[in-house]
Amino acid sequence: MQRQRTIVLLLGAPGAGKGTQARFIGGLLGIPHVASGDLLREHRRAGTALGRAAQEYMDRGDLVPDTLVIDMIAERLEREDATRGALLDGFPRTVAQAEALEVRLADRGDTVGAVLYLEVPRTALVERLAGRWMCGACQATYHERFNPPTADNICNICEEPLYQRPDDRREVVENRVEVYLRETLPVVEHYKSRGVLHALDGDRSIDAVRTRLCHALGGTVHGQRRPRWHLFVRHTEPGDDGAASQALGRTLCGKFVGRRPAGDFGAVEDFEANPCRHCWHALHARHPFRLVVLEQSDAVAS
């Protein structure tokens, strides 16, 4: 039987830190990170039929229709690297988009398995975004308060001048955040009612948020030989409805591969208080994380 694909959504307002976490999550699950905005630009640059259709709408000053964006996502899921699923970032933005996406996924025998929502207070979102500057040469980013350049308006890396995007100005940022929350909070409620939403406190350090993302995608399990806690990442399999008494997956450190009873799982605070050092190092690695994807033949304890 073919493994059920892992379709994960990453939701969060501008400034919530989705981009910081997306590559890690994709590597963690062995699936590609698909950002709807990047996908649209890719099709336009390549001049595909979908890209040309989208350009026609944009040239008229119209929004690209939801159906066209979903067509792009469906095409992306046909590619070889997405045979196990994908992490969708920035889509859906409205309940109508969510419902249309679910219909298209159902046609393919897929479903949204998890929705990760990074919650950050509105004032913190504005503070994070306002005052951001970028290097036009190397794309390095700086912030007037949190990460200022050594020299005023000069990139530390390539010493080129910095610039500020118009949509990073405070008054524009406040409106962007307001519009996003107004449109997307109903989407959060939509997935909450379906039992797949994981609302996470995004107003924490990068590593603390990353720990909670891992916990949402599996949980924490106690070591079998030492009194340490491990981060356990769950994997889907044919017929897995998420309610089984046994969870199939592996720890970040790879010390355990197989099934664990649902009653074995602890809280994220258990890991933070007494972590497996190998899981901890994998979690804090500076390079993009890549978890060895679990095969059905691996489904035994080790």
Burial of residue 11 (CB within 10 Å: 0-12, 13-18, 19+) is: buried
Catalytic residue, chosen from 93, 169, 259, 290, is 93
Question: Which of these, 211, 207, 242, lies nearest to 229 by C-alpha position?
Answer: 211
Domain extent at residue 292: 218-302
pLDDT band for position 232 (cuts 50, 70, 90) = very high
Q: Please give the Cα distance from 149 to 143 (Å, whole number).
A: 8
Q: How confident is the model at residue 129 (pLDDT cuts 50, 70, 90)?
A: confident
pLDDT band at 128 (very low <50, low <70, confident <90, very high): confident
Same structural domain, 300 and 241? yes
pLDDT at 234: 86
* 267 and 199 housed in the same domain: no
Q: Is the same domain home to 1 and 116?
A: yes
Does 132 participate in catalysis according to the annotation?
yes
Instruction: Tell me the whole-structure pTM to 2 decimals.
Output: 0.84
Tell me if 179 is assigned to some domain.
no
Task: Encode burial over 225-252: b for 16+ CB neighbours within 10 A, e otherwise.
Answer: eeebbbbbbbbbeeebeeeeeebbbbbb
For residues 15 and 112, membership in a common domain is answered with: yes
Q: How far is CA 264 from CA 219, 228, 241, 301, in A?
A: 9, 13, 19, 14
Whether 234 is a known active-site residue: answer no
Tell me: do 225 and 111 sit in the same domain: no
**pLDDT tens figures, 51-79:** 999 999 888 878 889 999 999 999 999 99
255 has catalytic annotation: no
Clarify whether residues 199 and 249 are in a common domain.
no
18 is known as an active-site residue: yes
Residue 93 a catalytic site member? yes
Please indicate, yes or no, if residue 156 is contained in any of the structural domains: no
pLDDT (tens digit per residue) in 182-228: 989 999 999 999 999 999 999 999 899 999 999 999 999 998 777 89
Query: Could you tell me the two tokens for 188?
Result: 């959060």
Q: Which residue, 158, 180, 203, sits at the end of a domain?
A: 203
Out of 76, 84, 128, 132, the active site residue is 132
The CA distance from 143 to 128, in Å, is: 8
